[in-house]
Amino acid sequence: MKFLIISGNPKSDGLCRSIEEELARGARDGGADVDALDTNSYLRCQVCGDGWGTCRERHECVLAPKDGFDKAQAAIKEADALCVVTPVYWGEMAEGLKSFLDRFRRCEFIHGVLAGKPVLLVASPGGSGNGLLTCLEQMDRFCRHTGAVIFDYIGVNRWNQDYKRAAAYAAAKALAEGRKAGETYDG
C-alpha cells in the first residue's frame, strides 16, 4: 500500500521531526511504500470570484500550475492511507499545512479523493503543551469536510514523547497493515 505523510513541520530536527521519523518507520515496517509531502512551500487560497473558483466545479485550483499543487493532489489521490502531522502553532496547525489543506478541501470536499480514505492525525505541542485539542479539532474538521476516515488521533508533547513516539510508530504500522477504523481489533 502507498502511505503518504503530509507534514506542516518546517524543521529538519526537533520533536515533530522525530515523530515523523517514527511514523515513516512504522508504516514501512507495516509493509507500506512511504512518501512525504512538505506543505510549507505552497501558495495560499486567493478566494477567487464570489467565494468559489475552479475548485468547486473542476476540482482544480487556479494556482496549481504555479506551485505544483496539482501534483500534490495526485499524490494524495494515489495514496491508500495518509498521516497528517503538524507542530501545534497558536493552538492550530502550522500555517503552511493549514493553507495547503484549505485549498485541498475546496477542491476535494465530501466526494473528492479523500472520501473513505483512512487518515491518522498527529499534532505536537512542543512548547507549553497547550492547544493540542484545538489543533486536532481543526484537523478533525478537515477530515469531516473531505470525507476522510479518521484512524486515530495522537498528541505528542515534551513530557509524553517517549510513550507517544511508540504510539505513533504502532499506529502507522497498524494502519499500513490494513487495520480499519470502526472494526474491533482483538489481536
Ligand X SMILES: Cc1cc2nc3c(=O)[nH]c(=O)nc-3n(C[C@H](O)[C@H](O)[C@H](O)COP(=O)(O)O)c2cc1C
Residue in 78, 127, 144, 181 binding ligand X, rule: CB under 6 A: 127
Site for ligand X in 74-103 (CB under 6 A): 87-91
- 148 vs 153: CA distance, rounded Å: 13
Residue 122 phi, psi (nearest 5): -135, 130
**Which of the ranges 11-19, 54-62, 70-78, 163-171 carries the binding residues for ligand X, by CB under 6 A?**
11-19
Residue in 53, 112, 126, 155 binding ligand X, rule: CB under 6 A: 126
Residue 118 phi, psi (nearest 5): -75, 135
Provide the grid cell at 69: 499543487
Residue in 8, 96, 131, 155 binding ligand X, rule: CB under 6 A: 131
Give one DSSP letter per residue of 36-79, joined into a string.
Answer: EEE-TTPPPP---TTS--HHHHHS--TTHHHHTHHHHHHHHHH-
CB of 113 to ligand X, least distance (A): 28
**Which of the ranges 76-84, 119-127, 138-146, 172-180 carries the binding residues for ligand X, by CB under 6 A?**
119-127
157 close to 126: Cβ distance less than 8 angstroms: yes
- 37 vs 9: CA distance, rounded Å: 10
CB of 133 to ligand X, least distance (A): 11
CB of 155 to ligand X, least distance (A): 10
Residue in 128, 141, 144, 178 binding ligand X, rule: CB under 6 A: 128
- Which positions lie near ligand X, rule CB under 6 A? 11, 14-17, 87-91, 124-131
